[in-house]
Amino acid sequence: MKKKTTIGDIAQQLGISKTTVSFVLNGKAREKHISESLEKKILDHITKVGYQPNQFAQGLRSGKTKIIGMMVEDISDPFFSSVARLIEENAYSRGYKIIYCSTENDTQKTKDLIQIYRTRQVDGYIIAPPPGIEKEINDLIDDKLPVVLFDRTIPGVETSNVVVNNYEAANDAILHFIQNGYRNIGMVTLNSDQVQMQERQEGYIDALKRIKAEPVIKKIIYHDDKENSIREIQSFLTENKQLDAVFFATNYIADNGLESIRNLKLIIPNDIGVIVFDDHNLYRLFTPSITAISQPIREISENSINLMLEMLEDDYDFSSVKSVLLKSSLIVRESSLAKG
Amino acid sequence: MKKKTTIGDIAQQLGISKTTVSFVLNGKAREKHISESLEKKILDHITKVGYQPNQFAQGLRSGKTKIIGMMVEDISDPFFSSVARLIEENAYSRGYKIIYCSTENDTQKTKDLIQIYRTRQVDGYIIAPPPGIEKEINDLIDDKLPVVLFDRTIPGVETSNVVVNNYEAANDAILHFIQNGYRNIGMVTLNSDQVQMQERQEGYIDALKRIKAEPVIKKIIYHDDKENSIREIQSFLTENKQLDAVFFATNYIADNGLESIRNLKLIIPNDIGVIVFDDHNLYRLFTPSITAISQPIREISENSINLMLEMLEDDYDFSSVKSVLLKSSLIVRESSLAKG
DNA sequence: TAGCGTTCCTAAACAGGTTTACTAAAGGTT
DNA sequence: AACCTTTAGTAAACCTGTTTAGGAACGCTA
């Protein structure tokens, strides 16, 4: 492997000092009074030989890595992997790379991962936080490390974040059920205090108040065995035969919920209407097709990376916290139309 | 933010030289004749103060990053994101981190990404290669950089790889169609020369020979507009009304193919039988459920990372190339059973 | 013409590890 | 006692950029 060209080689080839080369490379030619002719000569030569600075030497001196750590709940979840993909694309085009990992919504694993990221000295953190890591996140913030939360926030943590209108979206979904003649609407959600789940639940509860109906909620455990979750949801549906519609609060729950419905041989949307929070391109192809709340994946990605890059600017004022609230929209399909 | 402890601090606190600390940290205590008592003292002290070496300084000197670059076709594809997730998990537990990116099967983008990875000095590359990058991959290999290919190989590139029995799996799928009474079996695949796609196609063609049937193949363009792909597949099915079954060669094609079938109001599996290469947990929930070839995701992941870590060992013999061939299995569901 | 301000550029320090080359002391041999 | 070996440890070079401190040359003013 041929040895890489260093800044010293460049300097030597041009018969100047590496200091001068460094200044030019860092856009400080003007500030440091480098003549335009020399600047041009240096830039031309660098282009010619295809010089690429050594990231370690840069990082060693500057303390910057140009790496952003991204923590999603599960990289194999379609929602998170789509967001990750778009953030990656955007970040790369702006000179940053992303290191992903999956938290599995596990507090301890996430603490470990934050520790790993810290020792890897990532420049910033884009996180869909699991519960119970207020302290670790606040430690990051106290150390003036940029943190952007997305998908959910954490009470007691003040930092920039990008979330969607979970409450309204859930509320709209339930109102849509009501408009289509459903009256006994249940909800299956996670056994979780997390903000986004609470908001979805409240949206559901408040919508039911319009028809003076009582909420009927089943909470399942995130890490539960898949087969067990399915059984739980089946029992729930069996024990609440009055239900004519059900709202699944996540992707993951919906997979199991749809399987439960199938096992019980209930007919969608006649026996039971279905709406899922989080769309999936296969939902359109189900028989009947599945109504879903679609999150604005592109906007979530763009806003997250933009906030992060703002925070990475030298003169960023850490006391200013920006919250971006985006709209999710209900994609009406057959599963929520009784006459579908 | 409190300043980080350096190896110099440790040395100073113990009244010894940082050389000694470095030797102990790198497991060279014996080799460099450091006494056991001093070694223990150093290790204890390091544990106590929670010292973490600076990655840049290490990388600068050693040229190692402990980062493996992974290139998948599309991180938002369920197959690739599942593999990525498992590789990540495994790699982390063994001291390595993974940087993902998506190639979109685009030759130029991949060349750029390889360039980026090279300048980031990743230690190794795990790649699902797009076509047309023999040269870049061979350049990596010539420079003694470890490369593991997965999902597909490239003719003319000799390096460790992990693939599945595409030919047999496709062959079995078609034979299964035949056993279930289908006789006019079409295939929709990508307009691609890539090895894995060719193998799937040959498996299909050879199986048809058993019943002396002629292949009926439609090739669609990878980056084509989704709506356009759907139209193409619809035309194909319309123009070949004799077809009573269709084999979709990937996940991505199947999404569009299933939509085409739905648009044409064909009934699966009576009007047309369906088998998809690559399983998806929602396929089980389709009405009717979709028969699919399921790749051994966990084994693919484990073998890939294991091969990579072997290659990263100091004394690895680059002339030895290991190829791992894993079995995919047909998951029979309703869509391929005419009497389903 | 001494003094000052610019302009243009560089030597050397620095970041925090790893590795080489070397020393001091102890032990063993003849 | 002279010589060699081994043990235990260290000083300094090194990796490649960035940044600080400063020098030389020039023009301008008082």
Mean pLDDT of all residues in B308-320: 84
B78, B89, B120 member nearest A97 (Cβ): B120
Q: How far apart are CA B101 and CA B123, in angstroms?
A: 16
Strand C surroundings (CB within 7 A): A 15-20, 23, 32-35, 38, 57, 60-61; B 3-8, 18-19, 22-23, 25-26, 53-54, 56-58, 60-62
Q: Which of B71-85, B98-112, B201-215 has the lowest mean pLDDT?
A: B98-112
- The mean pLDDT of B193-212, rounded to a whole number, is 96
CB A197 within 8 A of CB A130: no
- Which nucleotide's C1' sits nearest to the alpha carbon of A26? D18
Task: Please report the pLDDT score of residue B60 as a whole number.
Answer: 80
Of the pLDDT bands very low, low, confident and very high (cuts 50, 70, 90), residue B84 is very high
Contact A120 B101 (CB under 8 A): no
Asked if residue B269 has a cis previous peptide bond (ω within 30° of 0), the answer is yes
β-bridge mates for residue A224, sequence order: none
Q: What is the pLDDT of residues A6-40, one digit of tens each?
A: 898 899 888 888 899 999 988 888 888 888 889 99
Residue B263 confidence (pLDDT)? 93
- How many helices (H) does chain A have, and how many strands (E)? 12, 12
Indicate left, alpha or beta for A224 from its phi (over 0: left) and psi (-120 to 50: alpha): beta
Please compute the mean of the pLDDT values over residues B99-119 and round it to a whole number.
84
Structural contact between residues A3 and A51, judged by C-beta atoms closer than 8 angstroms: no
Give the integer Cα–Cα distance in Å for A332 and A328. Answer: 13
String of DSSP letters for B150-171? ES---TT--S-EEEE-HHHHHH
Q: Which residue of B has its CA nearest to A66?
A: B120
What is the pLDDT of chain A when averaged over all its residues? Answer: 91
Q: Which residues in A lie closer than 8 A to residue B99 (C-beta atoms)?
A: 97-99
Nearest CA in chain A to B74: A85
Question: How many Å does it take to go from CA A8 to C1' D14?
Answer: 14
**Which of B41, B1, B257, B119 lies closest to A144 in space, CA to CA?**
B1
Among residues A155, A150, A173, the alpha carbon closest in space to that of A290 is found at: A173
CA atoms within 13 A on the CB side of A65: 24
In window 58-77 of B, residues with CB < 7 A from nucleic chain D are 60-61
Q: Shortest CB distance from A56 goes to which of B59, B99, B142? A: B59
User: Is B2 a residue whose pLDDT tops 80?
Assistant: no
- The separation, in Å, between residue B24 CA and nucleotide C29 C1' comes to 33
Give the pLDDT confidence of A182-212 residue by residue, as tens digits. Answer: 999 999 999 999 999 999 999 999 999 999 9
Residues 257-276 of A with CB under 7 A from strand D: none
Structure tokens at A77: 């979840």
Strands (E), chain B: 67-72, 97-102, 124-127, 147-150, 161-164, 185-190, 216-220, 245-248, 273-277, 291-294, 323-326, 329-331
Q: Which of B232, B128, B130, B241 is nearest to B189 (CA)?
A: B232
Q: Which nucleotide is nearest to A6 (CA to C1')?
A: D16
Instruction: Please give the C-alpha separations between residue A150 and each of A70, A196, B178, in angstroms, as whole numbers.
Output: 10, 10, 50
Say yes or no: domain A65-164+298-325 is CATH 3.40.50.2300: yes
Residues of B in contact with A57 (CB under 8 A): 56, 60
Is pLDDT of B292 > 90? yes
Q: Tokens for B266? A: 């064909």
Alpha-carbon dihedral A256, A258, A261, A267, rounded to 10 degrees: 180
Please indicate whether the domains covering B65-164+298-326 and B166-295+330-336 agree at the CATH topology level: yes
Q: Domain B7-53 belongs to what topology?
A: 434 Repressor (Amino-terminal Domain) (1.10.260)
**Taking 60 as the threshold, does the pLDDT of residue A330 lie above it?**
yes
Q: How confident is the model at residue B205 (pLDDT cuts 50, 70, 90)?
A: very high
| pLDDT over 60 at B1, yes or no | no
Average pLDDT score over residue span B242-250: 97
How far does the CA of A53 sit from the C1' of C27, in Å? 51
Q: Which CATH superfamily is domain B65-164+298-326 in?
A: Response regulator (3.40.50.2300)
Q: Tell me, rounded to whole angstroms, the distance of Cα B69 from its chain centroid.
A: 12
In angstroms, the separation between the Cα of residue B39 and the nearest Cα of chain A is: 23
pLDDT tens-place string over residues A247-271: 999 998 999 999 999 999 999 999 9
- In chain A, DSSP assigns E strands to 67-72, 97-102, 124-127, 147-150, 161-164, 185-190, 216-220, 245-248, 273-277, 291-294, 323-326, 329-331
Report the distance from CA of residue A6 to the C1' of nucleotide D16 in Å, as an integer. 7
Q: Which residue is nearest to nucleotide C17 (CA to C1')?
A: B57
Provide, in whole angstroms, the distance separating residue B56's CA from nucleotide C16's C1'. Answer: 8
Nucleotide nearest to B63 (CA to C1'): D15
Overall average pLDDT of the A278-297 stretch: 94
Kindly state the average pLDDT of the residues B172-189: 97
Is A81 in Cβ contact with B76 (below 8 Å)? yes
Spatial distance between the Cα atoms of B203 and B189, rounded to a whole number of angstroms = 13
- How far is B157 from B61, CA to CA, in rounded Å? 31
CB contact under 8 A, B57 and A60: yes
Strand D contacts in A 192-251 (CB under 7 A): none
What Cα–Cα distance (Å) separates residue B57 from each residue in A121, B13, B20, B54, B263? 12, 20, 17, 6, 60
* Two tokens, residue B233: 């597949």
Do residue A282 and residue B255 have CB atoms under 8 angstroms apart? Answer: yes
For chain A, the domains span: 7-53, 65-164+298-325, 166-295+330-336
Cβ neighbours of B60 in A, within 8 Å:
54, 56-57, 60
Region A72-96: mean pLDDT is 89
The model's pLDDT over A115-140, given as tens digits with 9 standing for 90+, comes to 778 777 788 999 999 999 999 999 89
Report the alpha-carbon distance of residue B307 to residue A91 in Å, rounded: 30
* pLDDT tens-place string over residues B162-178: 999 999 999 999 999 99
Average pLDDT value for residue range A233-242: 97
A166-295+330-336: CATH superfamily: Response regulator (3.40.50.2300)
Out of A99, A145, A258, the one facing B97 most closely (by C-beta) is: A99
Tokens of A132: 């119970």
8 A C-beta contact, residue A301 and residue A90: yes
Give CA–CA dist A72/A164, Å, rounded: 16
Q: Are B68 and B99 in contact (CB under 8 A)?
A: yes
At A179 the pLDDT is 96
CA A24 to CA A16: how far, in whole Å? 12
Q: Comparing A300 with B285, which gets the higher pLDDT?
A: A300
Structure confidence at residue A340 (pLDDT): 47
- Check: CB of residue A171 under 8 Å from CB of residue A201: no
- pLDDT in the model for residue A1: 44
- Categorize the per-residue pLDDT at A327 as very low, low, confident or very high, splitting at 50, 70 and 90: very high
Q: Which of A90, A97, A253 to mutate to test the interface with B (most CBs of B within 10 A)?
A: A97
Taking CB atoms and an 8 Å cutoff, what residues of chain A touch B318?
none
Q: Which residues of A touch B300 (CB under 8 A)?
A: none
